Amino acid sequence: MVFGRSERPRLPTAIKILIAGGFGAGKTTMVGAVSETRPLRTEEVLTDRGIGVDDISAVEAKRTTTVAMDFGRITLSNDYVLYLFGTPGQERFWFVWDELAEGALGAVILADTRRLADCFPSVDYFERRGTPFVVAVNCFEGAQTFELDEVRMALQLDPSIPIVMCDARKRDSSREVLITLVKHSARLRAEPVGT
Amino acid sequence: MTPPEDPVEEHWVDPEIIRPYVVTRGRTRPAHGRFDLISMALAVGPLPGPDAGLDPEHLRILQLCREPKSVAEIAAHLNLPAGTIRVLLGDLFDRELVSAQEPQSEVDMRDVRMYRAVLDGLRSL
């Protein structure tokens, strides 16, 4: 729905993809590599009322807390704009993920093979939520000591979930990861498209 | 001469947290519209003059939205929380100075054409 005084200006449709993974897995790097500008940062100020009861201890005396998200924009055409959001790393901010994940096309989970366990929570989260996701193993220099099959086994990934190698610093490599995700999401939710 | 204030009293709140509420005059929800982080906004018509009764932040949003911008982008450029931008956008929407969109109702995740358009766009990057 487009509303406002006039039908003249055409607003593009905004689509979002989440870039998840553990701290230091390369989320902001990937957002920056493939976006048309350097990563931007947006902040949500939240009062402790917005935080789960169990988490109040984490904010202690502070009555409000700020959650920062890095994001980037890719203008796909006059009709579509794609936004990539790096998910806040700390687990206590998962309630922000719910808002982010709502209406998302899907998620890329960046895995760092040196700290593979860091992406378990992301895998669990998107599996539970039913959000389409792919796992991208970020190949840090000298860190490629795992085969993709080993990573798949370690993460107990369903065979239907794509897992790819990538270099989050490289535009082409990051773009290929996004294409893999969009195809996967289309397979799950729409008719098969393209090749 | 007034006695010096207790420094603890003086700094009990962070100005960075106060500013968003000053800008919105204490409002935390927009009067109209439900904008999420990727809701797109576009300025409509000419930029209002200084007698229009708008705040500087409103005018900055209108300047920024000569091209379609999302709530997240506006927030990043104005260095204000997204929640504050939602309120300010609601004001502008009420005064018919922006057209805006609710993306969650807009995007049909079963729409094959959407996936094709996204794939085409990514491939031509």
Domains along chain B with CATH numbers: 7-123 (1.10.10.10)
Class of domain A13-41+68-185: alpha beta
Q: How many CB contacts within 8 angstroms connect chain A with chain B? A: 162
pTM: 0.84
Q: Which residues of A are less than 8 Å from B42 in CB distance?
A: 9, 11
Distance from the Cα of B52 to chain A's closest Cα (Å) equals 18
Tell me what pLDDT residue A91 has.
64
Q: Do A11 and B42 touch (CB under 8 A)?
A: yes
Averaged over successive runs of 10 residues, the pLDDT of chain A (195 residues) comes to 52 94 91 94 66 43 69 95 88 74 94 89 93 93 74 94 96 97 95 52
Tell me what pLDDT residue A45 has.
66
Q: Which residues of A are less than 8 Å from B111 in CB distance?
A: 190
Domains of chain A, by residue range, sit at 13-41+68-185
The minimal CB distance from A40 to the residues B76, B103, B114 is found for: B76
Rounded to an integer, what distance in angstroms lies between the CA atom of residue A153 and that of residue A81? 35
Q: Do A42 and B75 touch (CB under 8 A)?
A: yes
Q: Which residues of A are less than 8 Å from B41 in CB distance?
A: 11
Tell me what pLDDT residue A78 has.
92
C-alpha distances (whole Å) from A36 to each of A14, A110, A171 are 15, 20, 10
Burial class of residue A136, CB neighbours in 10 A (0-12, 13-18, 19+): buried
- Sequence letter at residue B84: T
Q: What is the pLDDT along chain B (125 residues), one digit of tens a residue?
A: 555 555 555 555 666 666 777 778 777 777 666 788 999 999 998 989 888 889 999 999 999 999 999 999 999 999 998 889 999 999 999 899 999 876 455 678 899 999 999 999 999 99
